[in-house]
Amino acid sequence: MCALEIRPVQQPADLELFLDVPARVYQGDPHWVPPLRSSIARQLSAENTFRTYGTLQAFVALNPEPVGRIVATVNQRLVDKEGEAIGLFGYFETVNDPAVSEALFATAINWLKQQGMTKIRGPIDLSTHNNCLMLVDGFNSPPMVMMPYNLPHYPQLVEQAGFSKAKDAYAYEYPLDRPLPSEFEKAYKIAGKSGVTFRSINTKGEAFERDAAILYRLFTEAFAANWSSTPRTEAEFVEEARSLQQLVDPDVVLIAEVGEKAVGFFMGLPDYNIPLKQVNGKLDFWGTLKFLWYRRQIDRGRVVAICALPEYQRKLVPLALIYLGLLACQKKGKPYRTSELGWVYEDNSRSRRLIEAAGGKIYKTYRIYEKAI
């Protein structure tokens, strides 16, 4: 029997072992969607803008094959915002073995202590703008695009390591074969009478770049108070926007404006996890062909964000955006049969009331954990 080794990821060969872990852990699982290896490698690279304000160390568990992994992170922006020495763990994957998970956590915690941290929070992959949260309920269906997924044994292993709940979040299911309550159409008319106009995002050329800059300013203001979240630089935001530029359905990415000022935003995405499941984590030549072929099977979407500046929430802009966004999803010729709205933190009562008033039902629950170290 081989001794368990927790190895810091320092060489390219170590990174390959780190990237190999999920395929072993999720082998045979019908709901898992392999992450793009190149995307994970890019996030952990020295070239990632995150390195200008944070530090990280990845670890892989070997026995002797890869059986687990974790990344310990200090996001200095988060430390400064919360005024507390909070370290993060993310990219956590493990076989169902407490010895492996406990060794991974012990190693990550020891590294964070060396950086002066007194608390650990996660799973958060560098920041909440990346993958975060752990699924704790709703394991019977696949994740939608840009949503986390893990096996049912994960929460137990985390709690056995001494972590407790910091906050839960929900995803809502909304079938698209039903009309919205009449209040949403009324809200759209009221918002219009208040001088608010609505349009689809531009997806090409300079017009797209302008819209990306407009939305950066809106997001930064609208989400400034979000828990465990810190603002991105404009360069980071625009880089992510460009990565989605060719993937969005502009009919379901809507901007609310008063004059030339953006005051609200609705973003829906086709569920690209459907074709991504077929490419085995690699968008090489054959992976790209498979992606293009299977994207024709997309029949669901996810509402990633609904936001409005505080003064325009009172003018019913969020309800108007939901009305227009879901109406666009139901338009003749659109492939969407169902949608997901979220994730939404449990204490975000305003957004939860809005989604539930529209008819959304909670179908998945996620959790962020914390532990003093």
Q: 32 pLDDT exceeds 70?
A: yes
Residue 134 pLDDT > 70, yes or no? yes
| Domain 5-170, second-level architecture | 3-Layer(aba) Sandwich (3.40)
% of the chain at pLDDT higher than 70: 99
Please tell me the predicted confidence (pLDDT) of residue 225.
86
Between CA 312 and CA 256 the distance in angstroms is 10
With a cut of 70, say whether residue 200 has pLDDT above it.
yes
Give the per-residue pLDDT at 3. 87
Mean pLDDT of 131-155: 97
Q: Among 89-98, 233-242, 255-264, which is the least confidently predicted range?
A: 233-242
d(CA 90, CA 362): 25
Calpha distance 264→251 (Å, rounded): 15
Q: What is the mean pLDDT of the chain?
A: 95
Note the pLDDT of residue 18: 98
* Phi, psi angles (nearest 5°) of residue 31: -105, -15
pLDDT surpassing 80 at residue 158 = yes
Q: Name the CATH superfamily for 178-336.
A: Gcn5-related N-acetyltransferase (GNAT) (3.40.630.30)
Amino acid 2: pLDDT? 66
pLDDT at residue 1 tops 70: no
Interhelix angle 98-114/153-160, nearest 10 degrees: 50
Q: 233 pLDDT band (50/70/90 cuts)?
A: confident
Q: What pLDDT does 368 receive?
A: 98
What mean pLDDT is predicted for residues 88-101?
97
User: For residue 75, what pLDDT is reported?
Assistant: 97
DSSP lists the bridge partners of residue 121 as 88, 370
Instruction: Confirm whether 5-170 and 178-336 share one CATH topology.
Output: yes
Q: What is the pTM of this model?
A: 0.94
Domain boundaries, the chain: 5-170, 178-336
The yes-or-no verdict on residue 152 having pLDDT over 60 is: yes
Whether 234 and 216 have beta carbons less than 8 Å apart is answered as yes
